[in-house]
Amino acid sequence: MPSPWSSRREVSPETSRLLIERAHEELVGGNVGDPRLGQIRPLVQDSWRRSLAHLVGAEGLPPLDLGDDELEAYRRAHPLSAAMDMIRALLLPGGESDSGVVVAVGDAVGRLLWVEGDRRVRSLTGDMGFVAGANWSEEAVGTSAPGTALALGRSVQIHGAEHYNRLVQPWSCTAAPVYDPETRRVLGVIDVTGDSDAATPQAQLLVDATARAVESELLVGRLRARAEPPAPRRTRRPAVAAATATTMLRVLGRDRALLDIAGPDSATVTELSARHAEILLMLAVHREGLSAERLGQLVYGEDDAEGTLRPELVRLRKVLERVAPQLVPASRPYRLTTELHTDAHQVVTLLARGAHRVALAAYRGRVLPDSVAPGVEEFRESVRLALREALLTEASVDVLLAYADTDDGADDAEVLRLALEMLPARSPRRAGLVARLEKLER
């Protein structure tokens, strides 16, 4: 079946890309009275001003709100999960490889839950953080079709330079909110992102029709369920609590880790000692639990370190009882009973979702760089290699060049050679890469 995204617009946008970009620069720079702003679509003007009021950065990357476990559980429980096959059939009828677009489905607050479609396009849009689990509300990334559609409660198209975030401006998108068919409460949003074909009048009709079809399907499903005999009641834990505290252990680029606890009404940051950071990181890495002997080996590198480990665990427990009692480890085996996120795991998750630029931005250095604990050294190297291999295999040349400017990539001849191969023949950046390679190979 031919792709529905193959019909290009017959007319150019009313306002040129250059005018939009200059108006955007004036607004972001604080010149809200620039006359060029009056020539921008009112919908976009209003969204830009909301973005400015939310202090959104003009080149920021979206936050990753949902980790792997949270994302999977939330997907299963979300009402739109039952409609995903219909959405794929309507918006990706020729299969992902032939579509030329990315189709995303998000929740009512703008967090993307499913991102599917053309592999090449997904790889490119992933570099700007358009991945499952990321927050694409206006408050997080500014003007974009999914966030602005949720803000306005209706379908929206955003063309190229109309995006508030400059990283998103190469793309165009169309999105429509999905409502509960009975309560009319917003359930989520459906978005199509690609080149200019993703924001044509035909695209808006199709995305709108898909949203209405989903609402009808949800209503039919409910009516059918009411007509059937009731099933035995089962209690089920909520997949994702809307306002529970989240914990993050920050170990990248620092030897004294930071433990962040963010709740609905407060947030605290606690700096841990180097040894406590090593112990807590090992428990976060080995979620299945560790015997005292094995934990001692990972932290101290000795087979008989239990006598040294136990007093340190007592001191760690006292710290956690004060700042994060939910993280106090259980024993036999030693293990965490609640999820502890780490910024290192977040980088690996972003790589798995194709968000290479976001992953590189989140990689602030090696894991606990001065630690000589065997378990930390092994984990440190696994994260470093995961980042390097993903960038060598899939990243765009801009991301690869950014990696080459980090401490990890600066002396990596293979990275420099690949970037040189990917650059256009007349790129002014080639000379610098050649000079760096020659210096390394002397």
Could you read off the pLDDT of 75-85 as tens digits, one per residue? Answer: 999 999 999 99
Are 290 and 355 found together in one domain? Answer: no
Q: What is the mean pLDDT of residues 119-132?
A: 90
Q: What is the mean pLDDT of residues 100-113?
A: 95
Give the structural domain span for 388: 344-440
pLDDT for 6 equals 54
**Is residue 442's pLDDT more than 60?**
yes
Task: Write out pLDDT tens, residues 158-213.
Answer: 999 899 999 999 999 999 999 999 999 999 999 999 999 999 999 999 999 999 99
pLDDT for 9 equals 45
Are 216 and 111 found together in one domain? Answer: yes
Query: Beta strands 102-107 and 186-194: pairing type?
Result: antiparallel
Task: Write out pLDDT tens, residues 288-332.
Answer: 999 999 999 999 998 888 889 999 999 999 999 999 999 999 988
pLDDT for 254 equals 92
Confidence band of 264 (pLDDT split at 50, 70, 90): low
Q: What percent of the chain has pLDDT over 70?
A: 87
pLDDT for 193 equals 96
Q: What percent of the chain has pLDDT over 90?
A: 60
Are 318 and 419 found together in one domain? Answer: no
Domain count for the chain: 3
201-207 own/partner pairs: CB under 8 Å, 24+ apart: 201/9, 202/4, 202/7, 203/4, 203/5, 203/157, 203/174, 204/155, 204/157, 204/174, 204/176, 206/4, 206/90, 206/91, 207/91, 207/155, 207/174, 207/175, 207/176
Are 328 and 348 found together in one domain? Answer: no
Task: Write out pLDDT tens, residues 349-388.
Answer: 888 888 888 888 889 999 999 999 999 999 999 999 999 9
pTM equals 0.68
CATH number assigned to the domain comprising residue 267 = 1.10.10.10
Are 369 and 408 found together in one domain? Answer: yes
pLDDT for 36 equals 67
Are 220 and 299 found together in one domain? Answer: no
Q: What is the mean pLDDT of residues 46-71?
A: 87
Are 354 and 277 found together in one domain? Answer: no
C-beta separation of 218 from 181 below 8 A: yes
Question: Which of 309, 341, 373 is a domain's end point?
Answer: 341
pLDDT for 386 equals 95
CATH number assigned to the domain comprising residue 199 = 3.30.450.40
Taking the C-alpha atoms of residue 308 and residue 228, their distance in angstroms, rounded to an integer, is 62
φ/ψ (deg, to 5) at 191 = -130, 145
Three-state helix/strand/coil letters over the chain = CCCCCCCCCCCCCCCCHHHHHHHHHHHHCCCCCCHHHHHCCHHHHHHHHHHHHCCCCCCCCCCECCCHHHHHHHHHHCHHHHHHHHHHHHHCCCCHHHCCCEEEEEECCCEEEEEEECHHHHHHHHCCCCCCCEECCHHHHCCCHHHHHHHHCCCEEECHHHCCCHHHCCCEEEEEEEECCCCCCEEEEEEEEECHHHHCHHHHHHHHHHHHHHHHHHHHHHHHHHHCCCCCCCCCCCCCCCCCCEEEEECECCCCCEEEEECCCCEEEEECCHHHHHHHHHHHHCCCCECHHHHHHHHHCCCCCHHHHHHHHHHHHHHHHHHCHHHCCECCCEECCCCCEEHHHHHHHHHHCCCHHHHHHHCCCCECCCCCCHHHHHHHHHHHHHHHHHHHHHCCHHHHHHHHCCCCCCCCHHHHHHHHHHCCCCCCCHHHHHHHHHHHCC
Task: Write out pLDDT tens, residues 5-54.
Answer: 554 444 345 445 677 777 667 666 666 666 667 778 999 999 999 998 98
Q: Is residue 316 part of a domain?
A: yes
Are 365 and 276 found together in one domain? Answer: no
Are 285 and 197 found together in one domain? Answer: no
**Is residue 280's pLDDT more than 70?**
yes
pLDDT for 240 equals 43
- Bridge partners, residue 290, by sequence: 334
Averaged pLDDT of the chain = 87
Are 76 and 177 found together in one domain? Answer: yes
Taking the C-alpha atoms of residue 144 and residue 54, their distance in angstroms, rounded to an integer, is 14
Task: Write out pLDDT tens, residues 197-212.
Answer: 999 999 999 999 999 9
**Is residue 140's pLDDT more than 50?**
yes
Question: Which of 313, 341, 369 is a domain's end point?
Answer: 341
